[in-house]
Amino acid sequence: MNIQTNSWRMSRRRLLKGLGATVALPWLEVMSENAKAITTAGSIAAGEIPRRAMFTYWGLGVEITGFTPAETGRDYKLTPSLASLAPFKDECTLMTELTAFTGGHGSCCCLLTGVNTVRNAKTMMSVDQQLAVHHGSATRFPSLVLGTVRETGFGGPFPMTLSWSKNHTPITPENRPEVLFEKLFGSEDNKTLAAAKQAMAQRASLLDSIKTQAGALQREVGAADRERLDQYFTSIRDLEERIKVEGEWIDRPKPRVERPDFGVGSPRDRIASDGRGYSEYTRMMFDMIALAFQTDSTRAVSHIPRTEGDEAKCYGYQTKSKWDLHTITHNAQEDEKINQWRELDALYLSEWAYFLGKLKAVKEGNGTLLDHTMAAWATTNGGPNAHDSKHLPLILCGGSALGLRHQGHLVQKDMPIANVWRTVAERVGMKVPEDFQGGLWSGIVKELV
């Protein structure tokens, strides 16, 4: 008979109960199979490491000549634009000269899908959503889709989301950190839990009714309308999948986290026309993402911290620029505009460095949250004078515990970004389909593994 000798091992889902409340515990070393006794620490075993990935998109790109180091390899010198990454230099790989399917305005929808654009009819599932399917219901939220705007832009010239579902529909981002916090950690007593269950049952019943009616209608209309109804059905299937996962988690309490001070009103609404408030808002969003990872509430995140819209005016109060960032990107090689662009690049990169610092400050097992997270800074706006789909930079950070071997500065001439995402997906352990990224991938980034 096979008798388990470490029956004392604590479940990762163990709860604390008292005063009518239940609280989920954080990950403790005694929960690991490496722990030899209840009183001894045990590092995270290989199979227990949460394999996380985060993808960010920075609209309008960077001034690539001032951004790119002259040297390659691990001993490269950080340019002034990259100076804020100094504390994380050994935990990041900067890749340059990458390519995307399309670039310029409205190209964010191809970053994680490979091929989706506002101009073609082909739509693919984004890699963050493929990872969400891979993780399934292992976490309360299979993925988080975030941005600075709560709209997809679908049907217009400027998409506002990176994420597309397995049914090929765009997913609306959340842009309010205070709402995201309530979603992740909001308290639930018996009354609110019962209301949530009732609302879930009502949504499921409503979807069943809509499906029945739409199915009957589909048999009565012409071919063009049947196609439109089929697209409608795909959205319903997405909702059904979300309800299914919600149902698996609804009776499990959320982690108890102290609520940050979000100030008066929504931080998103406090961004002024000259950019004041942008840094505070952006860091609050990064704080929420770090908490979501730390509590294992999700393992896949997409986020647009800067679109091609009003966020492009940020830091105007600091730089005293005569132009917004979009105007600066069309600079005709004017020195004053190029210098302004480089100054802005350094400021924006400091926000990313803040996020990396948040991850690195959290101990997890025998490493840090950054060691167990692959976080990507990316854009589809390249070239020396906006907005090319070539000469693209990408910074892949963290993930050392997941097998990433950072190489400093790598020049990857004409390598598709899809290869980077395939490398990330394989490090997570996801089975990659042949049509991954619309078939644009040509391999993995071998230097990283």
Whether residue 19 is contained in a domain is answered as no
Q: Residue 18 has what pLDDT?
A: 42
Sign of the C-alpha dihedral computed for residues 392, 105, 312 and 123 taken in this order: negative
- Paired with 411 in beta bridges are 96
Dump the DSSP string for 41-104.
--PPPGGG---EEEEEEETT---HHHHS-SS-BTTPPPPGGGGGGGGGGGGEEEEEEEB-S--S
Whether residue 8 is contained in a domain is answered as no
Q: Residue 104 has what pLDDT?
A: 83
Count the domains in the chain. 2
Residues 307 and 391 reside in one and the same domain? yes
Contact residues for 404 (Cβ-Cβ < 8 A; gap 6+): 93, 374, 396, 398, 427, 448, 449
Residues 124 and 208 reside in one and the same domain? no
Distance set, CA 345 to CA 139, 264, 383 (Å): 35, 30, 15
Whether residue 286 is contained in a domain is answered as yes
Q: What's the CA gap between 210 and 106, in Å, rounded?
A: 33
Tell which of 198, 225, 253 closes a domain.
253
Q: Residue 411 has what pLDDT?
A: 98
Residues 351 and 444 reside in one and the same domain? yes
Q: Residue 206 has what pLDDT?
A: 57
DSSP label of 376: E
Token pair for 157: 């010239």
Whether residue 13 is contained in a domain is answered as no
- Paired with 55 in beta bridges are 302, 376
pLDDT digits (tens, 9 = 90+) for 338-368: 999 999 999 999 999 999 999 999 998 889 9
Helix (H, G, I), strand (E, B) or coil at 26: coil
Residues 278 and 391 reside in one and the same domain? yes
Residues 89 and 108 reside in one and the same domain? yes
Q: Which domain holds residue 231?
A: 188-253
Q: Residue 20 has what pLDDT?
A: 41
The pTM of the full predicted model, rounded to 2 decimals, is: 0.83
Q: What's the CA gap between 190 and 311, in Å, rounded?
A: 41
Question: Which residues of the chain are modeled with pLDDT < 70?
Answer: 1-47, 121, 188-221, 223-248, 310-312, 385-386
Residues 237 and 357 reside in one and the same domain? no
**Within 10 Å of residue 391's Cβ, how many Cβ atoms?**
20
Whether residue 262 is contained in a domain is answered as no
CATH code where residue 419 lies: 3.40.720.10
pLDDT digits (tens, 9 = 90+) for 367-384: 999 999 999 999 999 877
Q: Residue 247 has what pLDDT?
A: 65
